[in-house]
Structure 1
Amino acid sequence: MDFIKTPKVDNVKLLERYNARKSTLGTLYLTTTHLIFVDAQGKKETWVLHMHMSTIDRLPLTTGGSPLQIRCKDFRCVTFVIPRDRDCQDITESLQQLSQPSNIESLYAFDFSLNDDIQKSFGWHLYDTDTEYLRMGVPSTHWALTNMNKSYEICDTYPRNLYVPASATTPILVGSSKFRSRGRLPVLSYLNRSNQAAICRCSQPLAGFSARCVEDEQMLHAILKANPKSKYMYVVDTRPKINAMANKAAGKGFENENYYSDIKFYFCGIENIHVMRNSLQKLIDLCEMRNPSMSAFLTGLESCGWLKHIKSVLDTAVFIAKAVRDGTSVLVHCSDGWDRTAQTCSLSGLILDPYYRTVQGFQALIEKEWLSFGHKFTDRCGLLGTVDSKEVSPVFTQFIESVWQLMQQFPCAFQFNDRFLITIHDHVYSCQFGTFVGNCEKDRLDLRLSERTYSLWGYITKHMSEFLNPFYKKSYEHQEPVIMPNTSPQCVKFWAGMYNRYENGIHPRENIVDILSSASDHCASLEDHVQLLEKVTYSAQKNLKD
C-alpha cells in the first residue's frame, strides 16, 4: 500500500485498441495486485495484473488528458487517458514499483489466496523424479542414480537426483563437471525403453582453443557404451557454429572432435536469447498495427523472424527424436544448458513419448526439463526489478508455441487443449502460483515454496475439464506413438490465439475446440441427469410395488 499514491481516478477513458477515436468512460482503481477499470455503467470491468505488466509508458499529452499505455507479458495492450497529468504520473510511478518487486519474497505468490477449496500443499508432490525415471526403466544395468549432488555441491543449478551411466566412476563425474560450464556435467534426460537410446544434457565444455579433459571424454564414452546397440552417438550443439566458436575466446566453446572417438557432432543454429527477445518485440509491434494491409502484415511477419526461430527449435527437436527413434543416443547442449537445451530436450521427448502428451505427463515434462534442470524463470521472465533486462528472453514462450505447432499437425494426439498451454504460459508471468518462482530447484527449496505458495498443477487438476481436448484419442498413442512433424515453412503457423487474443470486434471468433468442449460438457450433464431420473423412476416404481 505504501506504493499507491492515488488509489482511484474518475472520468478515465479506456481507448479501443485499434480505434483511438472510440473510448469507454469509467473509473480507474489501483490495488496492491491489480489495476481495475470499471465503466460508467458498472457493467464491464477490465482487470490488469501488476505482474503481467511489461512496459508502462506515458504518451504525449492530448487535449483530453494524459495517455498511459500498458503492454503486458500476456500480449495485452491497454491505453487509458487520465484527465490530470499529476494523477497519471502518480499511477505510473506506483505501477512501475508494483510490477517490478525488488525482493523475490514480495512476489504475488506469497500473498495470493485461492477461493477454491484447495490446500496449499496440493499439487506440489504430483511429480516425483525417481518415479518418472522408473517409468523409463531407470535405474538399470547401464544407468544408475548418483547422490553426489544431494547437497548441490557439484552443480547448484541441477536437481539433487542425477542419473548417469553406471560405468561412470566418481572421478569421471567430478572431472567432467569441472570441465563443463557452471558444473553442468552430462546427465540422463530421457531413455527410450525399447532400444535403450538416450537423450542426455549438459552445458558447453571449457575447451577454449586447446584445453582437454580426459574425464569428460570418458564420460561421453560411458554414455555411448550405455547404449550397447549403437556404435556411435551424436553431440548436438544447439547454437550456430559461429556463436560457439566465439565462445572459445572466453575459454569455453565446443568439443574438439579429435579427442572424442565414435561421436558425430551436429550444430543446429538456434539463435541466442538476445535475438529471440528482439524478434518477439518486432512480432508484438506487428500485432499492434492498427490497420495493416495483408502485404504489410506478411512482410512484417517474415522480417521479425519469429516463425523462423520456431522452425529452428522444431528442426532440432526432430533431429534428436529421429536419432533416438533409430537407436542412437544424443548429448544436447547450448551455452549453459538451460535455454535452448531445455527447449529441444523437452520437445524431442514430447515427439517420442505419448505420456508427455497427456496433462499429467506434460506437467512431468516441465518439472523435469525446465524446473529441475534449472531454467532461469525469474531472470528470463523479468519477474524482479533487479533483473538485468539483457537476461530477459521468451525462451519458455517459444517452447509453448512449439508444442502448439505440434498440436496443429496432430490434433488427436494431445490430451490437453490450447487453453491449457496459454494458462501455463500466463501463470509463469503472473506469479500467482509458486511453481515457476526461482531459477532452479535449490532456489525453490530455500524459499520453501511448497509450504508458502500454491501449485499451478493443483489448480489445473481441480479445473481439469477446462483443459481437455475433445479430439483426443487414447488409441492414438498405440497407433502412432512417435509423432514426427513436418517442419516445412508452410507448416509453421502464426498463433493468433496467443498473440491476438485480446482483439475486440463486431464478430468475435470462437474457437471450434471450445465449442466442442462446451457441447461435450453439456452432453455429460444431460447423461448425468438421465441417470438421476432413471434412479428416481426406479425408486418410485419399487415403492409402488411395496
Structure 2
Amino acid sequence: MDAIRVSKVERVACTKSGTTRLGTIHLTAHHLIFRYDGEAEKEMWVPYPIISLVSCLPQTLQGQCPVNFHTRTFETFSLSFFKDSDATDVFESVKELTVATSVTQLYAFFYHPNPPLSASNGWSLYSPRDEFGRMGVGSRSKAWRFTDVNKDYSFCATYPARLVVPTRISDTTLQYASKYRSKCRIPVLSYLHWANYGSITRSSQPMVGITQNRSIQDEKLIEAVFQSHASPETRASNALVYGATTTNLIIDARPTANAMANTAKGAGTENMDHYKDSKKVYLGIDHIHTMRESLGKVVEALREADTLLASINSDLPDQVAGLAVLDRGALRRSGWLRHIAAILEGTVLITRNVHVNSSHVLIHCSDGWDRTSQLSALSQLCLDPFYRTIHGFEILIEKDWLSYGHKFLDRSGHLSSDKFFLSSNDLVNSSSGAEAFLASVQNRFASQQHIKETSPVFHQFLEAVRQVQRQFPDRFEFNERFLHQLYYHLYSCQFGTFLYNCERDRRVSDGNGPPPCDRSVSVWDFLNSPPEMALNRNPTYDPSLDDPVSRAPGADMGVLFPNPKDVRFWYELYGRTDEEMNGRPFVAQSRVAGIEVVGPIEDAEEDSADLSRVDTPSTIPLPPSPSSKSTPLVPLAQSLRSLGLRPESRGTSPSPRAASRELSSTLDPLARPTPTRADSSSLFSTSPSDISLRAGRMPSPSPQIPATRARTKPPEFLPSSGVKSIWGKLSSNASAALSVVQDTYTSVAKDLRGGSEGEKTAELRSRDALSAWGEELPSSSTASSTSRGLGSLSLPTANPWAPSSPRTQPLALEENPWGSARLPTRPADPEPYPSLSPLPLDPTVAHPVPRSASSLSSISLTTAPSTTTPNSNGVDVAPPRNVSPKASSTTDPLGVGLL
C-alpha cells in the first residue's frame, strides 16, 4: 500500500472506444477501478498485470493532463486529469503496482473468492496415470511403460515427475540418451491414438554440433518409439492397419536455416542417416521473437485506429460511435495469420500421419516447450474428441503445456518492466530534439533481456483452436467465450495456474512456506463453477458426430482435418467486429443462366485468410490470379482477335474476320473478376473444359463450357519454365496492344517483300496466294506468329522489314483494354468486321485497307498526316504508293515496320 500515492481522484475524463465520460478513479492494491458518474456504465476493473503500456503525456491546450493506458486485452483508454499532480501521482502509483520483483507479489497469492468456489480440485484435475491409462497405456498396448526416473525432477527439471517411455528401453539407457538432448528433454510419449496405436512423442533438439555428434542410445530410443505398434509380448495383436502406409516422421518445427544455424551453438537437427525407417520434415514455423514482432504490428494497427478515432471525435461537435478506421492492410502485413496458417498446416500433417498412415510422429523445435506444445496439443485436439470437451481441453492444457514445461512466466511477462511506462518529463527537460530521441531510445531498449523472453505462444495456440472451432462449430463442447476467458486469466494473474515455468516450480516449495499450488486457486476451479459452465457451453455441440463406428455420409470417426487456408482474425478477442478486421464476406452477387459473378478479394496476396469463402462454378475449374491487384477485364474474343488466333486445333490461323465471327457467336463479352490465389498449375490445364493459356492455341468451344468465361491475369513467371512472361516486361496493357499491332504488320511486310519460305507464317504465305484480306487459305505450316513486346524491337537496319528474333518461351494471353480497331469494310463483303471495342484507333499506327489481291502489293502505310485521307469509317489511310526499303528507314521513327 506504500506504493499508492493517491487512492481516489474525482472528475476524471475517461475516453474509450471514441467515447468520453466523466467519473472517479480508484487505485487498490491489485486493480485500477474507474466508476462512471451517474452509473450509466458498468465499472471498469483493470488488474495491473494486464496493463502493457502507460504513457504520461504533456498538458494539452485545454489544460488537461492525459495518461494513456494500453492493455494486453487489446483495449485502449485515456484518463484526462485537470491537475498535473494528479496525473503524475496516478502514473507513478500504477507503475509501482504493476512492475513486480517476485511472483509472490501478484494477485493470485492474495485472491480469496467470496463466496468460495464450488469446485476445489483444480490442482488435481490432471493425473498422468489416469490420462495415459485412458489412452490404453498398460492395457491395450504393452509397448509403453511409466518411469519414475524423474520423480524428484533431478533427471530433467522442466519435465513432469511421471513420464511414459517405450517398454524395451531401460532407465539406464534414458540416462545416457538425456545427454544428447537439449535440457535433457528426451523423447517421451504425449499421445497414443485410440484407433491404431499411432503415437505422438515430443522432445528437444539433439546436440549434434559442428562435429556431427551422435548417440546410439538416442537412436535406439527413437527406433523403439517408431516400432511401438508391436508390443513385446505379442506382435500379432498390434498389427499394422491394413492398407496404411507407414511413414514415421521426425517433425522439426523450425525453419531449415534456423535448425542448421543451431549447429554453431552445439545443437542442430537429426542426421537421418542414423535414424532408419523414418523421414524428417521442417515446418518452417518462426521463433518466439518473430511471433512477438508480428503481434506487435497487429497491436500497433489497433492503437493507431483508436488514436485516429479519438482525434476524429475530438474535432467533431458530435461524437461518432462505431466508426471503422482500422487499417486491414496493416493487419495483413503483420503476418499474424500466416503464422497461424503454418501451425495449422503442421497440425494437419501430424494428424494425417497418425490417423490415416497409422504411423508415429516425433515433434521438437529448439527446447521443445513452445512450438512443440502448440503442434502436439492441436494435433491431439483434432485426433481425439475427448479433448474437445471442456474437461478434456483442461486436461490437454495441463498435460502438454503445464506439465511439459511451457515457460508461462517468461513468455507472458507477468512481472512487467518499467520500460513499459513512458513519461514526458525527460523529453520536456531535454535541450534538443536529438537528446530527446536518444533519451527515448535508451528508455525503451536498455536492459531488454527480460522483455526478450516474452512471446504470445499460448495466445497463438488459443487463436489456432479458435480457427478449428470456427470451421467445426458443432464438434466442441465449449464456445468462444471459454477460450476468451482463458486468455484473460492468462494475464490477469488472479489464479496460480499460469504463473510458473514448469511443474516443479508449482509443486515444490521454495522453502518459504507451502508450494504455490497450495497457496493459490486454480483457474479450473473458477471455470468449472456452475455459473461459468452455463456461460461457456456450446449450444450446438453434437457428440454423436464423433462416433468412431458411424458409417453415415460425411462421418469422419471423430478426427478433424482443418483447412489451413481458412484463417481469420479472432475479432472478438481484439474487441472489433468481423467486418472491421476481416472485411465483408464475399458471396455470389448474381446468377444468370447458372453463372455466378463473384467480387474480387482485395490484397489476397498478402494474406491467405478465408480463401474458401469464394464460390466458383463447378463446371469450370478457375485458374488463379497470382497478383493481388485487380485489372480491367475485356472479352476473350477481343484478345484473341488482337493476336490473330481462333479456338481451333494447334497451329491453325485462319483469317481474323472468320476467327472473330466464330468467337463472337460462342463467347459472351461478360467477364467477371477472378477469385484469388489457388494452385498455379491449373493455369496451364489442358482438360477439355478449360481454356489453355498457351501462345498460338485456344481449344475449341465445348458444349459443356458456359457462355460466360472467367478471365484471369496470367502469372508474371511461367510455372513451366521459370522465365518471366512478356507481361512482366511490358509497362502497361497499352504497350502490349501496340506490340501486337506492330508484330502483325511486321510479319505482313516481311511476307509481302518475298521473305524466305521457311519464315512465312501459316496465315500470310505469299502475295500470289493472297486473293483478298480475310479469305480462307489452305494451311501449310503449323507455326503461328507470336507477339513481341517493345523490349524485343530492333533498330532499323539495311532491311527495315526484317522481324526481330522470335520469342522462345510460351506466352500467356493478357487482357487488352484497348481492344482491336474496327477494320474498314470492302464493298464485296457480306458483312463488316465485328467491332469489339468502342475505343479510337492508335494515331501513331495506320491500318491497312482491304482491297483486291492485285492492289495488295501497292498498299503502304505512313505516319505523315499531310498525305492521309479519311475513308468512310473516319480512319486516316495513306494513298497507295511504293516505298523503298531505304526510304522506309527514315520515315519510320517508331521502328514498327511499314508496309
Q: SS in structure 2 opposite 1:384?
A: coil
Task: Please state if 1:398 is matched with 2:428.
Answer: no
Higher mean displacement: 59-68 or 402-411: 59-68
Structure 1 residue 268, shift from structure 2 partner: 0.1
The letter of the residue matching 2:300 is D
Higher mean displacement: 70-79 or 178-187: 70-79
Q: Residue in 2 aligned with 1:55? A: 53
- CA deviations on 1:267-317 (whole Å, 9 max, x unpaired) are 001111111011111111222314699897331122100000110111111
Q: SS in structure 1 opposite 2:142?
A: coil
Structure 1 residue 502, shift from structure 2 partner: 10
Change (3 A) 1:295 1:82: closer
Q: Residue in 2 aligned with 1:10? A: 10
The letter of the residue matching 1:238 is A
Q: Residue in 1 aligned with 2:186? A: 185
Task: Please state if 1:495 is matched with 2:564.
Answer: no
Structure 1 residue 188, shift from structure 2 partner: 0.2
Q: Residue in 2 aligned with 1:512? A: none
Verify the 8 A CA contact 1:120 1:452 in the aligned structure 2: no
Structure 1 residue 384, shift from structure 2 partner: 1.4
Task: Please state if 1:319 is matched with 2:349.
Answer: yes
Q: Residue in 1 aligned with 2:371? A: 340
Q: What is the CA–CA distance in structure 2 between the aligned matches of 1:294 and 1:26, rounded to whole Å?
A: 26
> Which residue, out of 11, 32, 35, partners 1:35?
32
Q: SS in structure 2 opposite 1:497?
A: coil
Please show how residues 257-406 of structure 1 align to structure 2 within 5 Å.
257-288=272-303, 289-290=305-306, 297-325=327-355, 326-385=357-416, 388-406=450-468
Verify the 8 A CA contact 2:490 2:498 in the aligned structure 1: yes
Task: Please state if 1:456 is matched with 2:523.
Answer: yes
Q: What is the CA–CA distance in structure 1 between the aligned matches of 2:268 and 2:200, rounded to whole Å?
A: 21
Q: Residue in 1 aligned with 2:756? A: none
Change (3 A) 1:96 1:295: closer
- CA deviations on 1:69-123 (whole Å, 9 max, x unpaired) are 1111122211111222222222222212212211111111110111233268432
The letter of the residue matching 1:355 is F
The letter of the residue matching 1:145 is F
Q: What is the CA–CA distance in structure 2 between the aligned matches of 1:115 and 1:135, rounded to whole Å?
A: 36
The letter of the residue matching 1:316 is G
Structure 1 residue 198, shift from structure 2 partner: 0.4
Please show how residues 74-473 of structure 1 align to structure 2 within 5 Å.
74-118=73-117, 121-139=120-138, 140-209=141-210, 210-228=212-230, 229=240, 232-288=247-303, 289-290=305-306, 297-325=327-355, 326-385=357-416, 388-447=450-509, 448-462=515-529, 463-473=532-542
Q: What is the CA–CA distance in structure 2 between the aligned matches of 1:446 and 1:57, rounded to whole Å?
A: 39
Q: What is the CA–CA distance in structure 2 between the aligned matches of 1:282 and 1:134, rounded to whole Å?
A: 44
Verify the 8 A CA contact 2:302 2:326 in the aligned structure 1: no
The letter of the residue matching 2:559 is V
- CA deviations on 1:304-349 (whole Å, 9 max, x unpaired) are 0000011011111111111101211000000000000000000000
Q: SS in structure 1 opposite 2:573?
A: helix
Larger RCO, structures 1/2 (Cα 8 Å, 6+ apart)? 1
Change (3 A) 1:94 1:74: same
The letter of the residue matching 1:261 is K
Q: What is the CA–CA distance in structure 2 between the aligned matches of 1:346 and 1:116, rounded to whole Å?
A: 34
Q: SS in structure 2 opposite 1:12?
A: strand
Change (3 A) 1:428 1:378: same
Structure 1 residue 418, shift from structure 2 partner: 0.4
Verify the 8 A CA contact 2:24 2:35 in the aligned structure 1: yes
- CA deviations on 1:119-166 (whole Å, 9 max, x unpaired) are 684322222111100010013310000110000111010000000011
- CA deviations on 1:514-542 (whole Å, 9 max, x unpaired) are xxxxxxxxxxxxxxxxxxxxxxxxxxxxx
The letter of the residue matching 2:414 is L
Unaligned 5+ segments in structure 2 are 231-239, 310-322, 418-448, 510-514, 548-554, 581-899
Change (3 A) 1:350 1:40: same
Structure 1 residue 453, shift from structure 2 partner: 1.1
Specify the structure having the higher radius of gyration (Cα). Answer: 2
Unaligned 5+ segments in structure 1 are 506-546
- CA deviations on 1:144-195 (whole Å, 9 max, x unpaired) are 0011000011101000000001111223211221111111110000001221
Change (3 A) 1:73 1:295: closer
- CA deviations on 1:216-272 (whole Å, 9 max, x unpaired) are 111111111112437551100001111111111100111111221112000001111
Verify the 8 A CA contact 2:205 2:367 in the aligned structure 1: yes
Structure 1 residue 27, shift from structure 2 partner: 1.4
Verify the 8 A CA contact 1:372 1:440 in the aligned structure 2: yes
Q: Residue in 2 aligned with 1:482? A: 559
- CA deviations on 1:456-503 (whole Å, 9 max, x unpaired) are 111111121110001100101114300111112xx1111110112599
The letter of the residue matching 2:330 is G
The letter of the residue matching 1:245 is M
Q: What is the CA–CA distance in structure 2 between the aligned matches of 1:264 and 1:477, rounded to whole Å?
A: 31
Please show how residues 507-518 of structure 1 align to structure 2 within 5 Å.
none
Verify the 8 A CA contact 2:246 2:358 in the aligned structure 1: no
Verify the 8 A CA contact 2:119 2:528 in the aligned structure 1: no
* TM-score (normalizing by structure 2): 0.54
> Identity of aligned pairs, percent?
41
Verify the 8 A CA contact 1:224 1:232 in the aligned structure 2: no
Q: What is the CA–CA distance in structure 1 between the aligned matches of 2:118 and 2:385, rounded to whole Å?
A: 30
Q: What is the CA–CA distance in structure 1 between the aligned matches of 2:390 and 2:119, rounded to whole Å?
A: 20
Q: What is the CA–CA distance in structure 1 between the aligned matches of 2:120 and 2:142, rounded to whole Å?
A: 36
Q: Residue in 1 aligned with 2:659? A: none
Q: SS in structure 1 opposite 2:563?
A: coil
Q: SS in structure 1 opposite 2:372?
A: helix
Q: What is the CA–CA distance in structure 2 between the aligned matches of 1:145 and 1:469, rounded to whole Å?
A: 36
Q: Residue in 1 aligned with 2:895? A: none
Higher mean displacement: 468-477 or 379-388: 379-388
The letter of the residue matching 1:185 is I
Q: What is the CA–CA distance in structure 2 between the aligned matches of 1:444 and 1:277, rounded to whole Å?
A: 26
For the aligned residue pairs, the C-alpha RMSD in angstroms reads: 2.0
Q: What is the CA–CA distance in structure 2 between the aligned matches of 1:122 and 1:185, rounded to whole Å?
A: 30
Q: What is the CA–CA distance in structure 2 between the aligned matches of 1:232 and 1:178, rounded to whole Å?
A: 27
Q: SS in structure 2 opposite 1:41?
A: helix
Q: What is the CA–CA distance in structure 2 between the aligned matches of 1:474 and 1:39, rounded to whole Å?
A: 45
Q: What is the CA–CA distance in structure 2 between the aligned matches of 1:161 and 1:129, rounded to whole Å?
A: 7
Q: What is the CA–CA distance in structure 1 between the aligned matches of 2:325 and 2:114, rounded to whole Å?
A: 47
Q: Residue in 2 aligned with 1:520? A: none
Q: What is the CA–CA distance in structure 2 between the aligned matches of 1:119 and 1:359, rounded to whole Å?
A: 17
Q: What is the CA–CA distance in structure 2 between the aligned matches of 1:280 and 1:141, rounded to whole Å?
A: 45
Q: What is the CA–CA distance in structure 2 between the aligned matches of 1:460 and 1:385, rounded to whole Å?
A: 26
Change (3 A) 1:333 1:115: same
The letter of the residue matching 2:382 is I
The letter of the residue matching 1:338 is W
Q: SS in structure 1 opposite 2:124?
A: coil
Verify the 8 A CA contact 2:16 2:76 in the aligned structure 1: no
Q: What is the CA–CA distance in structure 1 between the aligned matches of 2:466 and 2:563, rounded to whole Å?
A: 14
